Amino acid sequence: MADISKRKDLIRACYAPDARSADQMIAVLEQYGISAVKRGGVKDIYRIGGDVVGEEIMVAPEDLSSARDILQQMTGNDAPTAEPSRSAVKTVISLGAAVLLFIILLLIRGLF
């Protein structure tokens, strides 16, 4: 398999709920000759727009369609696999609101 981890044009094929699932998905893709890497996890909580949970499975643009087909068969899920879970989006929004509230409280405390 070619090392695609340095490529800048990788596209998200799907989300995996955890690192173990991501490794399994990558192994299946490699059996079909598709190189893939995982990206994401808890560390992305500090990145604007990043996902709090899960791992992104990234593939080359030319392999995107095949990879999504294989992963949908693997997961048995007819829903698109490239969307983050609603709970992850809610978590990011909640964290943003908490940070904003904390900043407002600091400003109020500094004014009195």
CA torsion through residues 97, 55, 58, 75, sign:
negative
Q: CB–CB of 66/34 below 8 Å?
A: yes
Residue 67's pLDDT is what? Answer: 92
CATH classification of 11-111 is 3.30.70.1530, yes or no? Answer: yes
- Series of mean pLDDT values for 10-residue runs along the chain (112 residues): 74 84 91 90 50 78 91 70 61 88 89 58
Distance CA 52, CA 41 (A): 6
